[in-house]
Amino acid sequence: MIGLFSSLDRLGPGNAESLRWALGVAGIGVGATVLDAGCGTGADLGVLQAAVPQGRVIGLDAEPAFVARAQARFPRLRIETGDMADPPGGPFDMIWSAGAVYNLGVTRALTVWRDHLQPTGKVAFSDLRWRTEAPPEAAVAFWKADGVTVSSAEALEQEVVAAGYRVLGARWLGTPGWASYYGPLEVALDGFTGDPGVAEHLRAEIALWRTHGVSYGYRLIVCEPV
């Protein structure tokens, strides 16, 4: 499975447009220092690098194979294998985490990252949430079986505020952000010769999105410590 994902440029839903939105809301300048926490194979590093041409971008991921791929794609950037709870190279003007904050949990992530921010630093991240009060049973069952706890967008903002942050901006990731992940993943699965169970599960995830994707989505949040 690591080999399959190491071949992809993007390891989860997201796109350049949504990241640029977050950078704009956060007011990130050309000389900023930015951390990509859970950078995967480097899907967002290029946009971050372009946004801070006079600053620094640091990528961090727990999987060495992903870090190696990201470093090959962006040889001039500092990209390290490590723990998102203890990022290197701060303090940061912004910590960005696309779909990876669940590894720590929203509350813990915001709590530990506070000490790694500049006094005016921001955190921007995306997290899977329900878009409806009555999600379909098939979607509930799938994510529960996958070990993913999904709640509402309102609950997410409450978590952010309870962690001592102010929400500066919030929006949903659009359909193109999902397609930019699932499209290449489907192509990769066509040539995948590894565990058939892995391929079956990933195809089921894609099928679920096509059928019930309107009921859930990635909620983008930009926030700052109070």
pLDDT > 90? residue 1: no
Helix count and strand count (H, E) for the chain: 9, 8
For the chain, report the end-to-end CA distance as a whole number of angstroms: 40
Residue 76: closest CA among 107, 116, 122, 42 = 42
pLDDT > 90? residue 171: yes
Q: Band of the pLDDT at 216, cuts 50, 70, 90?
A: very high
CB atoms within 10 A of CB 90: 16
For residue 225, give both structure tokens: 């410590």
Peptide bond into 91 cis (omega under 30): yes
Query: Parallel, antiparallel, or unpaired for β 56-61 and 33-37?
Result: parallel
Distances 134 to 36, 139, 215, 217 between C-alpha atoms, Å:
33, 11, 8, 14
Total count of residues recorded for the chain: 226
For 17-55, the three-class secondary structure string (H helix, E strand, C coil) is HHHHHHHHHHCCCCCCEEEEECCCCCCCHHHHHHHCCCC
Using a 10 angstrom Cβ sphere, with 0-12 exposed, 13-18 middle and 19 or more buried, the burial of residue 200 is exposed
Which pLDDT belongs to residue 130? 98
CB atoms within 10 A of CB 162: 11
For 78-124, the three-class secondary structure string (H helix, E strand, C coil) is EEEECCCCCCCCCCEEEEEEECCHHHCCHHHHHHHHHHHEEEEEEEE
pLDDT in tens, 33-54: 999 999 999 999 999 999 999 9
Dihedral sign for Cα 107, 173, 29, 56, please.
positive
Domains of the chain: 2-225 (3.40.50.150)
Q: What is the pTM of this model?
A: 0.96
pLDDT in tens, 87-127: 999 999 999 999 999 999 999 999 999 999 999 999 999 99
Which pLDDT belongs to residue 3? 86
Distance CA(28)–CA(75), nearest Å, equals: 23
Specify which residues 169 forms β-bridges with: 222
